[in-house]
Structure 1
Amino acid sequence: MRRVLDALYTAAGGLAALCILAICLLISAQVGLNILARVGGPALSFTIPSYADFAGFGLAAASFLAMAYTLRAGAHIRVNLLVSRLPQGAQWVAEMLSLALGTAMVGYATWFSVQLLMESLHYGDTSPGIIAVPLWIPQLTMVTGLVLLTVALLDTLVESLRNRAPVIIDFGSE
């Protein structure tokens, strides 16, 4: 099970990286088209339809898909100033409390994101750009990322309970 979960987190992180790459390529292509229009005049003026919308969808997908991977890698921003000064047992208690609270909060957000996705499907909501994209498509990446983060938080909570010690390693201390 550990390998399956780690493979899921890694795959989501890889998809997030591909989204960032796609954003870079899309924006670079539009900048190139803008330069072409400046140099060549109005006859060579082209725009990638809804490029800003697609860049925004890609950014949202990258942000949400990367969260579970980032948590398991210990790279989330954490306040270690206080936690690092606590004894090992108190560090474990602090991690347990934060993981339990985080699981509850992200689970709540996941539930309502699924409801939003279902509502968008029901009403056929689309983006207002030149290319009308059904909103359930970008929302699906958000829901997927939140589901994975909920699973990762619960996974980390269970692992911490089993080890009776903190399991999130501070990325900056390695």
Structure 2
Amino acid sequence: MRHALEWLYRASGAVAAACIVAICLLVSAQILLNIIARVMGPGWSWTIPSYADFAGYMLANASFLALACTLREGGHIRVTLLTRRLPLRGAWMTEITALGLGLGLSLYALRYLVALVAESLRYGDKSTGIVAIPLWIPQTGVTIGIGVLCLALAHTLYDALRTRKPQLVDAEKPDLCPTH
């Protein structure tokens, strides 16, 4: 089960990375079209329809889909000024508290994101750009990202309770990371 979850976190991170690459390609293509229009004249002026909307949707998806992988790899920004000075048990208790609160808030967000996707499907909500995109499509990626984050938080909380040690370490110290 652990390997399947780790694969899920990495797959979610890979999709997030693909979204970032797609944003780069999309924006670069539009910049190239703008350069061609400047050099060749107004008759050569083209725009990728709704490219800013697509880039925004991919950015939202990338941001949320990367959360679980980033958590498990120790890449989230944390205030370690205090926890580094705590004894092991204090750091462990602080981490359990933070993971529990994070899981609760993430589950709360997940509940409302699922409702948002259902509402968008029910009413047929579409974007207002040149290309009308059904809003449930980008909302689904965000919802999946939060759902995978909930799994990662629960998984990390379980590991912390089972081992009675903090599980989250700094990304700069990969040799201490429990997922490696």
Matches within 5 A, 1:86-125: 86-125=86-125
Deviations 1:109-159 (A, max 9, x none): 010010011000000000000000000000000000000000100010001
Task: Report the secondary structure of 1:6's partner residue.
Answer: helix
Q: Deviations over 1:25-62 (max 9, x none)?
A: 00000000000000011110000000000000110010
Describe how 1:158-173 pairs up with structure 2 within 5 A.
Answer: 158-173=158-173
Q: What residue number does 2:138 align with? A: 138
Return the TM-score normalized by structure 1: 0.99
d(CA) in 2 for partners of 1:21 and 1:50? 18
Measure the CA separation in 2 of the matches of 1:163 and 1:38: 62
Could you tell me the percent identity over the aligned residues? 55
**Which AA in structure 2 matches 1:75?**
G
Deviation at 1:172, TM superposition (A): 2.7
| 1:50 paired to 2:50 | yes
Distance in 2 between residues matched to 1:89 and 1:116, nearest whole Å: 40
CA RMSD of aligned residues (A): 0.6
- Provide TM-score, normalisation by structure 2: 0.96
Give the superposition deviation at 1:173.
3.6
Deviations 1:58-104 (A, max 9, x none): 10010000000000001000000011000000000000000000000
Deviation at 1:171, TM superposition (A): 1.0
Matches of 2:84 and 2:74, distance apart in 1: 14
Q: Structure 2 regions of 5+ residues with no counterpart?
A: 175-180
Instruction: Supply the distance in 2 between the matched residues of 1:5 and 1:149 (Cα, whole angstroms).
Output: 11
Once the two structures are TM-superposed, the CA of residue 169 in structure 1 deviates from its matched residue by 1.4
Paired residues, number: 174
Corresponding residue for residue 73 of structure 2: 73
Structure 1 residue 170: deviation in Å? 1.2
Q: How far, CA to CA, are the matches of 1:120 and 1:152 in structure 2?
A: 27
What CA distance in whole angstroms lies between the structure 2 residues aligned with 1:33 and 1:93?
Answer: 55
Give the counterpart letter for 2:11 in structure 1: A
Structure 1, gaps ≥5 residues long: none
Match in the other structure for 1:26: 26
